[in-house]
Amino acid sequence: MTGDRPKGLRAVGPSEAGGGSREIPVEVLSFATLPPERRGLLLQVSDLLDQIAYGTVVIVLHEGAVTQIEISEKLRLPPSSEGEPDQAV
């Protein structure tokens, strides 16, 4: 294989522009060749990223294996007006 694109792999079916086939993006091929448990982990992380607007997602490893995923969300509060007491949200 030369370069980073696998040779000989093409999508099945017509492309948007008409007949024929089109190349599969290398990112899709890379994901498809991962072991199922790694794909599942990446999909879980993707779901967590969709759930929070501000915060962190931490992947914890032990001896090279993922043992937990931590999520910390930050809530942005609107600034309070000066002279008014803070109100609980």
- CA 73 to CA 51: how far, in whole Å? 9
Q: Is the pTM of this model over 0.75?
A: no
Task: Please give the helix or strand (H or E) that residue 72 lies within, else none.
Answer: strand 65-73
**Are residues 21 and 10 in contact, defined by beta-carbon separation less than 8 angstroms?**
yes
User: Which DSSP category does 16 fall into?
Assistant: T
Question: Which has more confidence, 7 or 40?
Answer: 40
Q: How many CA atoms lie within 13 A of 8 on its CB side?
A: 2
**Are residues 31 and 39 in contact, defined by beta-carbon separation less than 8 angstroms?**
yes
The per-residue pLDDT for range 15-58, each reduced to its tens digit, is: 555 556 678 888 999 999 999 999 999 999 999 999 998 999 99
Tokens for 59, please give them.
Answer: 């992947």
